[in-house]
Structure 1
Amino acid sequence: MRILIAGASGTIGGHLVTQLVARGHEVVGTTRSAAKTGALRALGAEPVIVDALDPDSVADVVAKAEPEVIVHQLTALSGASTMRQVKRMASATNRLRTEGTDHLLAAARAVGVRRFVAQSNSLWMERSGGPVADENGRIEPNPPADAEAAVAALRHVEDAVTGITWADGIVLRYGCFYGPGTGLSAAPDAVMTEQIRKRKFPIVGSGRGVWSLVHITDAASATVAAIERGRTGIYHVADDDPAPVRDWLPYLARTLGAEPPRRVPAWLARRLAGKGAVDMMTRARGISTGKTKRELGWNPQYPSWRTGFTDGLS
């Protein structure tokens, strides 16, 4: 198939391009930066520069590419190390998940795209219920005030994409990425890894928040499966071992040769990082992937973060 990946130079983009090209697909990859076109071309994609917040720019690129499938992986979350940078990138990502989604959908409909696959994530599953949610679970309807914009943007992506009637509209709720090219890898400049090594990524409060994690190559292979075989709806993409932060974070620190993470009371973390961050650390729910395995025939290479952290960070 001819596939356009919006955000091909992002965290998952390179892995996704590599796997799609290896399977014989023709890939067009968008980027905001001319400096990244060479890397995309080296991976086998046809690079194009686009401003995803400019509807005319998006329409022009999609019309020229004439893809059968569009994959929406647009975010602005890369390399942030300060709270100010995080807030700025989160705001830009919210726009990409709202305005950017709408521009891509309009362009996709105009050229007759038959499948549209979009990125969501699992950190804001509804806080009621057990520790793990299946694909029927919904996004948290009443998030903390400082997370409302981000959660609303995720909800917009999910509702807009699964609501289309002219093509298969597929949403992938990913677990937390780790592995090469992510913020959680063996690379010395990986942001989250650096924070853990410096003991700046603490266990907040009880640390009972359950996170689902996924190796980046597994995330890409699930995306390929959705592109090739998916149908309208939501699929979960994570390993088989959802776990509380208080379990996986110390294990990761040991794997990295770092000191154990500090523990910070929830009241103090609320002052320093906000209610949203505390909520994710103490109330998050993991996800199950039964539908993804059953309908897409997908299984992760790293079924647990325990082996993923020891064997797959580099």
Structure 2
Amino acid sequence: MKVFMTGASGYIGTHLTRELVAHGHTVTGLVRSAASAAIVTANGGTPVLGTGVPATDLPLIVQHARAADATYHLAFDHSFTDFLGGCAAEAAVVDAVGNAYEGTDKILLMTSATGVAPHYDPTTEDDSAEGSPNPRRVTELTAERWATRGNRVGIVRLPPITHGGADMGGGAFVLRLIRAARAANVAAYIGDGRWPAVHVAEAVSVYRLALDHVTPGTIARFHPVADEGVPIKEIMGVIAAHEGLQTKSVTPEEGAEIFGFIAGLLAMDNRSTSTKTQEVLGWKPTMPGLLDELRAGKYFDSA
């Protein structure tokens, strides 16, 4: 299958390009620099140089999407300097590709996050983003709209803890926690927050398998979740043991001083299941979990 991918040189895109090429697909990846182009080439893909500005690159994205059998939209501005703008730009890409694919049998798979759906008890693949307070819901709802028009559209909701390959940005969330603990000289946690997790190698296998399980007219949601909710307290406990620190429960106000803007997120019970994903795709996670990797000493040298 001919695949076009935005965000092809990023963390997920790098692993996914390798996964797709290894299974006989051809990948064309949108990049914004010569260095990023070299990454895509090294992974077996063909780079297409854009500007890195979604609005400017829309015609290029549509051109290459039309030339492909499937498009993966992975690109997102993770700097969070303009989160609302990033969400709007992401939705615009999904809208443009959805429009280009209308009336065809081509597939659009976009990345979202488990925290976009409004239900955490736990979140399942059947939960829509409708009513969610998360601004990124606009992208999922845009994808759903194109699916109801008969397109083949799928949503892959990545867990916030996607780990593995620390040298390539893997475990970025955990690296942030390690650095925060070192800076504060205490392994702090807020309440009983729990976050889902998955190893990146298992996440990209879901992206690949999903190509064969997106049907026209119905939105398909996939959760590449191996652990439905890793307690933040346990993560901080392993960090404390490795760093020779004390663990400490802190107030949201104290947490904001230590963790910055992610403090509120750390207190969330963001549990998510992958029961339906495993049944539909025949996918079963077997890689080491995040806590196992941490106990083995992974990530500390990279933090």
Q: How high is the TM-score relative to the length of structure 2?
A: 0.81
Structure 2: stretches of 5+ with no match in the other structure: none
Cα gap change, 1:243/1:310 in structure 2, threshold over 3 Å: closer, same or farther?
same
Deviation at 1:166, TM superposition (A): 3.9
Cα gap change, 1:247/1:54 in structure 2, threshold over 3 Å: closer, same or farther?
closer
Alignment of 1:158 onto 2:140 = yes
Partner in structure 1 of residue 235 of structure 2: 248
Cα distance in 2, alignment partners of residues 61 and 313 from structure 1:
37
Deviation at 1:136, TM superposition (A): 2.1
Cα distance in 2, alignment partners of residues 136 and 120 from structure 1:
14
Cα gap change, 1:142/1:167 in structure 2, threshold over 3 Å: closer, same or farther?
closer
User: Which one is further off, 299-308 or 16-25?
Assistant: 299-308
The C-alpha deviation readout for 1:196-218, integer Å capped at 9, x for no partner, is 54458954431x12210111111
Opposite residue 268 of structure 2, the aligned amino acid is: R
Partner in structure 1 of residue 209 of structure 2: 225
Q: Secondary structure of the equivalent of 1:88?
A: coil
Opposite residue 234 of structure 1, the aligned amino acid is: R
Cα gap change, 1:21/1:273 in structure 2, threshold over 3 Å: closer, same or farther?
same
Partner in structure 1 of residue 41 of structure 2: 41
Cα distance in 2, alignment partners of residues 100 and 250 from structure 1:
41
Deviation at 1:285, TM superposition (A): 2.2
Q: Secondary structure of the equivalent of 1:59?
A: helix
Q: How high is the TM-score relative to the length of structure 1?
A: 0.78
Q: Secondary structure of the equivalent of 1:286?
A: coil
Opposite residue 18 of structure 2, the aligned amino acid is: T
Q: Secondary structure of the equivalent of 1:284?
A: coil
The number of aligned residues is: 290
The C-alpha deviation readout for 1:91-138, integer Å capped at 9, x for no partner, is 55324323333333334449x4611101111134425x63x2211234
Cα distance in 2, alignment partners of residues 201 and 229 from structure 1:
46
Percent identity of the aligned residues?
21
Cα distance in 2, alignment partners of residues 200 and 178 from structure 1:
24
Opposite residue 297 of structure 1, the aligned amino acid is: G
Conserved in 1, the CA contact under 8 Å of 2:117 and 2:132?
no
The C-alpha deviation readout for 1:178-235, integer Å capped at 9, x for no partner, is 11122526x9xx55554454458954431x1221011111111111111233343211
Conserved in 2, the CA contact under 8 Å of 1:123 and 1:284?
no
The C-alpha deviation readout for 1:35-65, integer Å capped at 9, x for no partner, is 2111211110010122464556333344246
Partner in structure 1 of residue 77 of structure 2: 76
Partner in structure 2 of residue 67 of structure 1: 68
The RMSD of aligned alpha carbons is 3.3
The C-alpha deviation readout for 1:240-265, integer Å capped at 9, x for no partner, is 352321123323554x5563555431
Opposite residue 265 of structure 2, the aligned amino acid is: M
Conserved in 2, the CA contact under 8 Å of 1:196 and 1:258?
no
Deviation at 1:169, TM superposition (A): 0.9
Partner in structure 2 of residue 80 of structure 1: none
Deviation at 1:282, TM superposition (A): 1.9
Opposite residue 230 of structure 1, the aligned amino acid is: V
Cα distance in 2, alignment partners of residues 46 and 195 from structure 1:
38
Structure 1: stretches of 5+ with no match in the other structure: 78-85, 144-150
1:135 corresponds, among 125, 131, 143, to 125
Q: Secondary structure of the equivalent of 1:30?
A: strand
Alignment of 1:169 onto 2:162 = no
Partner in structure 1 of residue 265 of structure 2: 280
Alignment of 1:94 onto 2:87 = yes
Cα distance in 2, alignment partners of residues 203 and 218 from structure 1:
29
Alignment of 1:266 onto 2:252 = yes
Conserved in 2, the CA contact under 8 Å of 1:114 and 1:166?
no
Q: Secondary structure of the equivalent of 2:118?
A: coil
Partner in structure 2 of residue 148 of structure 1: none
Conserved in 1, the CA contact under 8 Å of 2:116 and 2:137?
no
Conserved in 2, the CA contact under 8 Å of 1:74 and 1:93?
no
Partner in structure 1 of residue 29 of structure 2: 29
Q: Secondary structure of the equivalent of 1:248?
A: helix
Conserved in 2, the CA contact under 8 Å of 1:53 and 1:103?
no
Opposite residue 195 of structure 2, the aligned amino acid is: W
Conserved in 2, the CA contact under 8 Å of 1:52 and 1:103?
no
